[in-house]
Structure 1
Amino acid sequence: MAWLYVIVGGLFETAFAISLKESNGFTRLWPTVSFAVTVAISMGLLGLGLRELPVGTAYAVWVGIGAVGTAIAGMLFFNDPATLLRLSAIGLIVGGVVLLNLSGGSGH
């Protein structure tokens, strides 16, 4: 269950990054509210996951999901460039998170 918390928390990290972008520097009410709610949920879920998982591994997975999700959302919805270099960087993030998990950091 701890991994589910971290994974869903990472998805909410993507949501809070998008909300932050849409808030236009906290000048738009509903995106700002969305940011506050999604950041609280994301952090709360990470905290629940950290009850059972090592902090370095769980945090890396949480950040990795958020970073990759936000980069993909930027390309899909905000016209961020989808260059080979950017896509390769996303692949490296995913690969790094997978290797960190394979290194034995999945329990106390």
Structure 2
Amino acid sequence: REFAPTLVLVAAGFDAAANDPCGARCRLTPAGFARMTRRLGADALPSAHGRVGLILEGGYAPASLADCVAACIRALLGDDLPPPDVSESPPSRAAVQAIEETCLAHEAFWGCLRNRPMPLVCR
């Protein structure tokens, strides 16, 4: 909201998908991609008035790519989202640390990153 874009364009790479040969470590599901996409919608970024474009960039497992793209389109159309995926393993300490360091580096410029809760649990 601080940025107040009038249009949001996303370089939508799906190589982090669970079944993609490049994304084996990330294991994002179609539901996960849909939830991230929904966060870019009109409610989250009212200044864009729902103008969100996804430009396909990556994804190398055709069936997984199709599922992820379809889930993102449904999210943009306002369809009900599938229930959240529950990971069998929490994020690693390295992942939590990388997120925290990124937030710290940017919080001087983005007020929304100040006083943020860190609900991540690491293994």
Q: Check whether TM > 0.5.
A: no
The TM-score with structure 1 as length reference comes to 0.30
Query: Rg larger in 1 or in 2?
Result: 2
Greater helix proportion:
1
Greater strand proportion:
2
The TM-score with structure 2 as length reference comes to 0.27
